[in-house]
Chains A and B, each alone.
Chain A
């Protein structure tokens, strides 16, 4: 089951990271904490998995990075923020996800119910 969990996570990771960054600009460590907390532990990950996703999004022009000085004695942080293109893409991704999840839900519901009468006749 763990393999399926990993595969599903992998498929939506870019969308989830983009959505989290779009909500408020953030740096890697805080992003990890936010994603962990908001997903109830489902998206608990390490830096080694997060950075490549951030770089892909940045290379695609969906997010941009900038350094911000820390408050007081805090160290400077590298903040990532969604670009206009990223925000637009996120909207499209959400639509796609709604369509995708409705489709999968429907298929699973049909499989659980044993299929429609017409399908059963076709199988027979």
Chain B
């Protein structure tokens, strides 16, 4: 490992803001140079100062903020997000290329459900025809991606990705809710003769992991993002 690579590894692991990193880089450059001038080898310098993770942890702890340790489960969450996104992609491709247009409407619902137990083809049709499961998978995939981002961004002061993710998730949840209220729902809601008929449908939309998960994760992302923005402003 070269001196530059060692410094970069330390800076990367601190998770601190850019301004503090620049300050640290200058001091590390100066002091490692001083140690080398004093006759130490780079290996001895690295042994004396500690591994990049050790140095970074000490710095982050003393500078009141970043905790570079992140959960290892974040990779499992990312895997889940990718699997769900692939499911959405598969449904979209199947819907576009393999479902006959004449079956794409209400008929296919009946066909898909009836044929579900009959064989592979029928099961395939069932899985691709329904838009709601694909939307649900998309919601859960977005929620899983947000969870990964929260784990990955733990202790960092980079609010923008979290704020963007939070905004997208909350907008998606709002879209799902609005989708639930569209069409017949709105009509039935507006229909004074049966005002209560919309309530169970609306409740079933709200009490649904595909709605709640992205909404909750979106709110967490937004709150964490705003907190990080405040911390960043305090430091600069």
Could you list which residues of chain A lie within 8 angstroms of chain B, going by C-beta atoms? Answer: 27-30, 46-49, 51-55, 67, 70, 74-78
Chain B contact surface mostly:
helix
Q: Does B4 contact A (CB under 8 A)?
A: no
A75 touches B50 (CB 8 A): no
- Tell me how far the C-beta of B63 lies from the nearest C-beta in chain A, rounded to whole angstroms: 5
Known: A48-B62, A52-B59. A75 touches B49 (CB 8 A): no
Contacts of A47 in B (CB 8 A): 27-28, 31, 49, 55
> Measured between alpha carbons, how far is A74 from B24 in the docked complex, in Å?
20
Mark interface residues in B64-86 (1 if CB within 8 Å of A CB, else 0): 00000000000000000000000
Q: Does B191 contact A (CB under 8 A)?
A: no
Mark interface residues in B17-52 (1 if CB within 8 Å of A CB, else 0): 000100110111111011111100000000001100
> Measured between alpha carbons, how far is A28 from B62 in the docked complex, in Å?
16
Contacts of B20 in A (CB 8 A): 55
Q: Does B105 contact A (CB under 8 A)?
A: no
Give the residue of B26, B31, B62 whose beta carbon is less than 8 angstroms from that of A29: B31
Q: Does B131 contact A (CB under 8 A)?
A: no
B49 touches A28 (CB 8 A): no
Name B49's closest neighbour in chain A (CB-CB): A47
Q: What are 16 inter-chain pairs, A to B, with CB distance below 8 A?
A: A27-B30, A28-B34, A30-B34, A48-B56, A48-B57, A48-B62, A49-B58, A51-B24, A51-B62, A52-B59, A52-B63, A75-B36, A77-B30, A77-B33, A78-B26, A78-B27
Name B40's closest neighbour in chain A (CB-CB): A29
Q: Does B54 contact A (CB under 8 A)?
A: yes
Using a Cβ–Cβ cut-off of 8 Å, how many residues does chain B contribute to the interface with A?
A: 25
Name B62's closest neighbour in chain A (CB-CB): A52
Name A58's closest neighbour in chain B (CB-CB): B23
B37 touches A75 (CB 8 A): yes
Could you list which residues of chain B lie within 8 angstroms of chain A, going by C-beta atoms? Answer: 20, 23-24, 26-31, 33-38, 49-50, 54-59, 62-63
- Tell me how far the C-beta of A36 lies from the nearest C-beta in chain B, rounded to whole angstroms: 12
> Measured between alpha carbons, how far is A52 from B62 in the docked complex, in Å?
6
Known: A51-B24, A51-B27, A52-B59. A46 touches B34 (CB 8 A): no
7 additional contacts, CB 8 Å, given A48-B59, A49-B62, A51-B24?
A29-B30, A29-B35, A47-B49, A70-B33, A75-B37, A76-B33, A77-B33
Contacts of B24 in A (CB 8 A): 51
Known: A28-B30, A52-B63, A78-B30. A46 touches B35 (CB 8 A): no
The 10 closest A-B CB pairs, nearest first, are A48-B58, A75-B33, A52-B62, A78-B30, A29-B34, A29-B31, A28-B31, A74-B37, A48-B59, A48-B55
Give the residue of B28, B31, B37, B57 whose beta carbon is less than 8 angstroms from that of A70: B37
A75 touches B30 (CB 8 A): yes
Give the residue of B23, B35, B38, B50 whose beta carbon is less than 8 angstroms from that of A55: B23
Name A55's closest neighbour in chain B (CB-CB): B23
- Tell me how far the C-beta of B32 lies from the nearest C-beta in chain A, rounded to whole angstroms: 8
Give the residue of A46, A52, A53, A54 whose beta carbon is less than 8 angstroms from that of B50: A46
Contacts of A48 in B (CB 8 A): 49-50, 54-59, 62
